[in-house]
Chains A and B, each alone.
Chain A
């Protein structure tokens, strides 16, 4: 079946601009996660949704970052007034639920590579 999809695959923007990154989870997965990964590092958590609500947004670095999932499926990560330090690969993952255990593992999309000039 179809995996997690993310668009765009690459985004180049100028410092100060606004960007939106989109994630389409695996069909039927109720939980959706955003991470970002800098070169040479493991992914770092940003936010996750259970259904439409943000269950944990403690990883968002500051108030320039915001994410929504209005219908409990597709999610958009929004970054205002982008800075050069925001350059990274933004990864989205989904899981069947947050109950844990076999069958509830997180599966990742291909990511969006964001470059802020």
Chain B
């Protein structure tokens, strides 16, 4: 079973729509959770970190459910510029450090005018 699973999409939504992405992780020892955004042929860029049960930043809300090992990302009032691939990422402790990241395969979003 993969460490992080997410629906690859694609999601195609009109401008102004609300869209939600879901992600599950397999290891209950996972401690840190992130959403990265990746544009075509570019590097992943950190969108949000989730260190407690949730985080909100403008139009973006991330929620974490540790009991269900589930993370979500909600985007409200979608913009054309939100079109990208959204990567669900987890991190867990190895000894005294948090090192490698585990990535989902990404969910592709296209926002159309």
- Chain B residues with CB below 8 A from A101, complex form: 32, 51
- Chain A residues with CB below 8 A from B104, complex form: 42
Is B69 at the interface (CB under 8 A from chain A)? no
- Chain A residues with CB below 8 A from B46, complex form: 105-107
Q: Are B31 and A43 in contact (CB under 8 A)?
A: no
Q: How far is the CA of A109 from the CA of B44 in the complex (A)?
A: 8
- Chain A residues with CB below 8 A from B94, complex form: 56
Q: Are A43 and B44 in contact (CB under 8 A)?
A: yes
Is B34 at the interface (CB under 8 A from chain A)? yes
Q: How far is the CA of A104 from the CA of B31 in the complex (A)?
A: 13
Interface residues of A in 56-71 (CB under 8 A from B): 56, 59
Q: How far is the CA of A44 from the CA of B2 in the complex (A)?
A: 12
Q: Are B100 and A45 in contact (CB under 8 A)?
A: yes
Q: Are B106 and A100 in contact (CB under 8 A)?
A: no
- Chain B residues with CB below 8 A from A44, complex form: 103
- Chain B residues with CB below 8 A from A43, complex form: 44, 87, 101, 103
Is B98 at the interface (CB under 8 A from chain A)? yes
Number of interface residues of A (CB under 8 A): 29
- Chain A residues with CB below 8 A from B72, complex form: none
Q: How far is the CA of A65 from the CA of B45 in the complex (A)?
A: 26
Q: Are B43 and A91 in contact (CB under 8 A)?
A: yes
Give the distance to chain A from B26, nearest Cβ to Cβ, in Å.
14
**Most-contacted residue by chain B among A41, A42, A106 (CB, 10 A):** A42
List 14 A-B pairs, Cβ < 8 Å: A33-B100, A41-B106, A42-B89, A42-B103, A42-B105, A43-B87, A43-B101, A56-B99, A98-B97, A100-B93, A101-B32, A106-B101, A108-B45, A111-B43
